[in-house]
Amino acid sequence: MNKSKRPFTKSKRSFRRRLPPIQSGDRIDYRNMSFISRFISEQGKILSRRVNRVTLKQQRLITIAIKQARILSLLPFLNNQKQFER
């Protein structure tokens, strides 16, 4: 067994850094529906912090805002509008 012994080399590909979804001027508020809806999946679930690419503090504020909007019936708790094909 003659394996080539090459050291691990990092790939030379450059990658573009993604912009953070929350800028410094954005206010996380339950009334800002266009902003909050970016952090909710198609089914109406709150997306995780890794998917959102936000900090822990921002994720907590987003979660609180989404829950307040749901209680005030600005957002649905569930989105069960599935299309059944037969």
Within the chain, residue ranges assigned H as helices are 33-36, 49-52, 56-71
Residue scoring higher pLDDT (80 or 56): 56
pTM of the model as a whole:
0.70
- Does residue 36 carry a pLDDT above 60? yes
Half-sphere exposure for 26 (CA within 13 Å, toward CB): 16
pLDDT band, very low/low/confident/very high, at 80 (cuts 50, 70, 90): confident
**Pairwise CA distance, residues 53 & 23, whole Å:** 12
Above pLDDT 70, what percent of the chain? 77
**Pairwise CA distance, residues 25 & 66, whole Å:** 19
Name the average pLDDT for the chain. Answer: 83
* Contact status, residue 51 vs residue 61, Cβ threshold 8 Å: no
- Does residue 39 carry a pLDDT above 90? yes
